């Protein structure tokens, strides 16, 4: 029943799109095309390559609609046959007060330019709460309980100070993952919020938090990326004004607790970040993100 309701809602959305093409942001354009409606740097990110411990681990391309909004995310699949993974593409459809990610059929409610709720027709509900223009908390409630009686809840809290994210925490049961940031003078002016890349490639889906929450062999499910997309799409409230210079990461699992220190090193090309390296306490590179922009 829930799936039928959601598919009906999706069909209604597409009918609305046909009657109002100006509001539909689904038109895909190649890098370099379209009108950017953004207060940030005009050249948009078209590809990000991620290296972990010196080895390439991810590569993703980003495409935009005629209004400069992300309309398609296309990952590169690493394996026996390195190729673009069309099955993992995510396309986005924009409307006045909601947004749809079509692959997982994830629906976002938007008020005053900020996401307030997200729904997966299959199992997840996400609640976003704000203090002024800044995101204060995110709650993921998993209602897929066919094989268990409990309902999993994942909490994320965000604390801002002087226009920057000072502390980010993620809690689930007795597990906690916390990052405390310190900032320098690099402005966070890329067209996509840098925090999205930190969340997507470093904090949530890789070993910095995975060892605590899901074990060393944890591999995220695609549906779990959907509640992070608001940072990619610019609907998660006001972003940090600057880029982080250092991060103190604390992971706790019951009575076990560990703290690690990281620094961020940026390679600039004019006003643009061409690379961001995340170094551990002894200066060894843990992660490196390489950015390519439209010409």
Q: What is the mean pLDDT of the chain?
A: 77
- Kindly write down the DSSP assignment for every residue of 252-279, as one continuous string: EETTEEEEEEEEEEEEEETTEEEEEEEE
pLDDT more than 70, % of the chain:
69
* pLDDT, average across residues 223-234: 79
- Residue 261's φ and ψ, nearest 5 degrees, are -110, 140
Domain spans of the chain?
A: 2-293
Q: Taking 70 as the threshold, does the pLDDT of residue 116 lie above it? A: yes
**DSSP-assigned letter for residue 222:** G
CA gap 23, 144 in Å, rounded: 33
How many Å apart are CA 186 and CA 264, to the nearest integer?
11
CATH tag for 2-293 (out of 3.40.50.300, 2.40.160.150, 3.30.1490.20, 2.60.40.420): 2.40.160.150
User: Global pTM?
Assistant: 0.79
Q: Does the pLDDT at position 295 exceed 90? A: no
């Amino acid at each position: 029943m829930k799936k039928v309701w959601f598919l009906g809602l999706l069909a209604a959305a597409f009918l609305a799109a046909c009657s109002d093409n100006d509001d539909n942001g689904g038109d895909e354009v190649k890098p370099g095309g379209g009108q950017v409606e953004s207060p940030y740097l005009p050249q948009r990110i078209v590809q990000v390559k991620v290296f972990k411990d010196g080895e390439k681990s991810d590569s993703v391309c980003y495409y935009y609609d005629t209004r400069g909004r992300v309309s398609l995310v296309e990952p590169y699949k690493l394996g026996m046959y390195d190729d673009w993974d069309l099955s993992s593409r995510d396309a986005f459809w924009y409307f006045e007060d909601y947004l749809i990610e079509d692959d997982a059929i994830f629906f976002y409610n938007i008020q005053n330019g900020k996401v307030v709720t997200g729904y997966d027709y299959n199992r997840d509900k996400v609640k976003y709460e704000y203090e002024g223009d800044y995101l204060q908390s995110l709650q993921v409630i998993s209602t897929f309980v066919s094989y268990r009686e409990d309902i999993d809840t994942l909490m994320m809290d965000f604390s801002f100070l002087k226009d920057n994210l000072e502390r980010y925490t993620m809690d689930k049961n007795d597990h906690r993952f916390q990052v405390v940031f310190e900032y320098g003078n690099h402005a966070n002016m890329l067209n996509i919020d840098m925090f999205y890349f930190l969340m997507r490639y470093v904090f949530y889906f890789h070993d910095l938090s995975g060892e605590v929450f899901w074990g060393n062999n944890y591999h995220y499910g695609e549906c779990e990326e959907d509640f992070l997309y608001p940072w990619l799409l610019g609907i998660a409230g006001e972003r940090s004004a600057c880029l982080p210079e250092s991060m103190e990461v604390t992971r706790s699992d019951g009575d076990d607790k560990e703290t690690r220190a990281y620094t961020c090193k940026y390679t600039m090309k004019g006003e643009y970040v061409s690379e961001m390296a995340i170094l551990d306490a002894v200066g060894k590179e843990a992660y490196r993100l390489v950015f390519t922009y439209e010409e």
